[in-house]
Structure 1
Amino acid sequence: MTFSAFPASQHILQTDSWGEFKARYGWEPVRLHSGQESALVLFKRLPLGLSVAYVPKAGIGEEWTRLLPKIETECRQRNAVFLQIEPDLDEPYDTAGLDSVFPNYIKDEATIQPRGTILIDISSEETTILATMKQKTRYNIRLAERKGIKVETSHDLDDFYEQMLITSGRDGFALHSLPYYQNAFEIFEPKGQCVLLRASYEGESLAYLMLFLYGQRAWYFYGASNDKHRNLMPTYLLQWEAMRYAKVHGATLYDMWGIPDADEDELEEQFMLRSDGLWGVYRFKRGFGGEVKRSAPAYVKVFKPLLYKAYRWLRNKRTGGENASL
């Protein structure tokens, strides 16, 4: 039985490029195989010879009943406290069937990657894609075009980061260091798996979008904008041009990556009232159409219960029970 929602296209977080990238930040990537399937497992070393293991966005296929024991054996050899697996699967799905793949695992609602997203089908003609957007979003795209906003590819990571700093200060979200984005671009861009797009007005940079691509899928991971000429709606045209770029380069699905973890009714009731966390970006992202999706929870195999209990206590203390990161 195959559970992957996207069997024809692996998630970019399961690629060797992602493993190479995370290796620069203390993770050791290990790829394990069974038949035609494989899993990228990331190990983080801890003091006292311990480690933790993480499998992001795993495509769960027919070989997983044979692949999973190999992953667990590798975890034991590396003295892992626990193994966390996050399936590349969105609701609704066969819950009982997926649970049967992971016997003696704990289901954890607090995943590392954001559970909520919007998926946009970009396989149709451009006119059809535009027709699924909110009327105001289409208007803003056309306004930006009429007013002379230009979108082009860029390699200016310094300027991109300057605008990330502005965006972080304005919208209150956490930011990585400049080398983090430079390393991602350095690894993915030469392989055609990443592009940096720049929106400008009369030669002046207004906004950036870093898009990731793999197979038939594209992901909007990072975006930044300054406070100049916001009335010209550069971010709307930038997002649309990113979709067009993804479509030309073979993608049929565009992932907006990261909205509040709430059902669609709550999202629609609250988005005009809230701007905290991911609520502010949801207001922008929803305008581009698509389907609101929520991913499966994490499955956790505990090898050292007392140490895992201590980890959970520290995580909840640090995050107040909200989504945490390793």
Structure 2
Amino acid sequence: MTLRDATPDERSRWDDLVWGNPGGPELYQLDSYAGLKAPEWRARHLVHEHEGRPPVHALYLYRRVPPFGELWYCPMGPRVADADHARACFEDLRPAGIGRPFAVVLEPSVTAEGPQDRENLIASVPGMRDHPDLQLGQHTVLVDLRPDEEEILAGFRQRARRYIRKSSEAVVEHRTDEDAFEVMWRLYDETLERAGVQERRPRAYHEGLWRTYIEAGLGHFVLARPREDGDHEAGAFIIYRDGLGYYKDGGSLRTRDSNGLQYKVQWEAMRWCKEHGATTYDMYGAPPSWDADDESHPMHPLVQFKTAFGPIVDQVGTMQLVLRPRTFRAWDRVGMPVYRRLTAKSGPFY
């Protein structure tokens, strides 16, 4: 087993190598995501190599948190195909040669049929602990864009088809201009306020994220007006790269005209991605399928909307490998609460 830094050649091809990982592609493993997290988080581009298995190119972010040392985080990774490969990657992190983190937060791309798959993986790795999920993509809805449009529509629930038909007069725009940022922020911010989301990042962070992907040629806004002479009442920011479309952020007003307009936005986003070669569209974010009926789950308000396009699929979720137990105990009890307070104004710690 080997864990090493990526070579200069691998660094120059990093995004393409990530897209070919055995566990599938992932936006949050790209260089663009590392740029978004800087300077609070620095990047390590590492390669896990195991005999008989394809290499795993893994973006690790690390943050110095004095006096504890380095905390590492592998967002939505490592991208492995199964639990055995994940365990091999976890073992790579134990030697001190590649760095000296006291803990590593991991989000391996291991599918889960139920919570027991997560529990079993954590229990099988010495030093592994539970950790609240950090990224919404751990549980999501994936739409297969390979069939023709009529077949795709037929696979949606009746609710989605009804709202898409109802919005036949809607005007949908695919935009990247400066005015679109203002429109999208208004829709997004109002939606978060209405949902009562308390812990969220400032406008500058979200606009910076949108701009990063737009400037990289990967993202754009999909904005909708209920009719030609109407105002924008629903919108989404979508990202597309090499066969995979993502629904990253969305928002809508709560008016009679906007009722159901987000279904039309999603359908037009899927159609655009399909026309540009996508075979899968990721709705990016849902509660675990086994908690879909739990009204106390923070993602529950999205269940009815997203499952109208397909079933929820799950991964094992976020976990934390403790490498220096005494340091970690001090961090967990004292350090993390203090750092959360210190960074509160700029948004969530991660």
* TM-score band, normalised by shorter chain: 0.7 to 0.9
Query: What amino acid is the match of 1:296?
Result: V
C-alpha distance after superposition, 1:4-52 (max 9, x if no partner): 998384111111111111115x110110124643110001121226221
Greater mean deviation of Cα atoms: 237-246 or 66-75: 66-75
**Alignment match, 1:121:** 144
Instruction: Measure how far apart 1:66 and its partner are.
Output: 7.5
Q: How does 1:59-78 map to 2 (within 5 A)?
A: 59-60=79-80, 71-73=93-95, 77=99
Separation (CA, whole Å) in 2 of partners of 1:107 and 1:87: 14
Matched, 1:241 2:261: no
Residue in structure 2 matched with residue 87 of structure 1 by the alignment? 108
User: What is the rounded CA distance, in whole Å, between the counterparts of 2:322 and 2:68 in structure 1?
Assistant: 17
Instruction: Please give the alpha-carbon distance, in whole angstroms, between the structure 2 residues aligned to 1:109 and 1:49.
Output: 19
1:98-247 equivalent positions in 2, closer than 5 A: 99=121, 103-108=125-130, 110-114=132-136, 115-145=138-168, 147-155=169-177, 156-173=180-197, 174-200=199-225, 201=227, 202=229, 204-231=231-258, 233-247=260-274
Question: Deviations along 1:243-266, whole A, 9 cap, x unmatched?
Answer: 112222222222222222351xx5
Distance 1:233 1:275, change over 3 A: farther
> Which residue pairs with 2:33 in the alignment?
18
- RMSD, aligned CA: 3.4
1:321 is aligned to none
Distance 1:188 1:204, change over 3 A: same
Instruction: Give, in angstroms, the shift of residue 181 of structure 1.
Output: 1.7
Contact 1:39 1:55 in 2 (8 A): yes
Once the two structures are superposed, what CA deviation does each residue of 1:63-106 show, in whole Å capped at 9, x if it has no partner?
878865665557873x422011111232249969x959x84341
Q: 1:292 maps to which residue?
A: 312
Q: Note if contact 1:50-1:81 (Cα within 8 Å) is conserved in structure 2.
A: yes
* Aligned-pair identity (%): 22
CA deviation digits over 1:111-147, x for unaligned, max 9? 22233222221221111110011112101101111x3
- Tell me the TM-score normalised to structure 2 length: 0.75
Partner Cα distance (1:297, 1:276) in 2: 15
Structure 2 Cα separation of the partners of residues 179 and 43 of structure 1: 22
Tell me if structure 1 keeps the 8 A contact 2:176–2:214: no
Trace 1:280-319 onto structure 2 (pairs within 5 A): 280-288=301-309, 290-313=310-333
SS in 2 for 1:204: coil
1:45 to 64, 67, 71: 64
- Asked whether the equivalents of residues 191 and 253 of structure 2 are also in contact (C-alpha less than 8 Å), the reply is yes
Give me the whole-angstrom Cα distance separating, in 1, the residues matched to 2:96 and 2:212: 26
May I ask how many residue pairs the two structures share in their alignment? 306
Q: Which runs of 5 or more structure 1 residues have no equivalent in the other structure?
A: 319-323
CA 230–188 in structure 1, closer or farther in 2 if over 3 Å, else same: same
Task: Give the deviation of 1:216 after TM superposition.
Answer: 2.6
Structure 1 residues 285 and 303 mapped into 2: Cα distance closer, same or farther (>3 Å)?
same
The 1-side partners of 2:224 and 2:97 are apart by: 45
Q: 1:244 to 1:316 in 2, by over 3 A?
A: farther
- Is contact 1:111-1:298 (8 Å) kept? yes
**1:55 and 1:126, CA in 2 relative to 1: closer, same or farther beyond 3 A?**
same
State the secondary structure of the residue aligned to 2:75: strand
CA offset digits 1:142-167 (Å, max 9, x no partner): 1111x333333243212211222211
**Quick check: 1:152–1:199 contact (8 Å CA) kept in 2?**
no
Question: Partner letter of residue 195 of structure 1?
Answer: H
Deviation at 1:176, TM superposition (A): 2.0
CA distance in 2 between partners of 1:74 and 1:206 (Å):
53
Whole-angstrom distance in 1 between the partners of 2:86 and 2:112? 20
Whichever residue aligns with residue 32 of structure 1, its letter is: L
Q: How far apart are 1:214 and its partner, in Å? A: 3.0
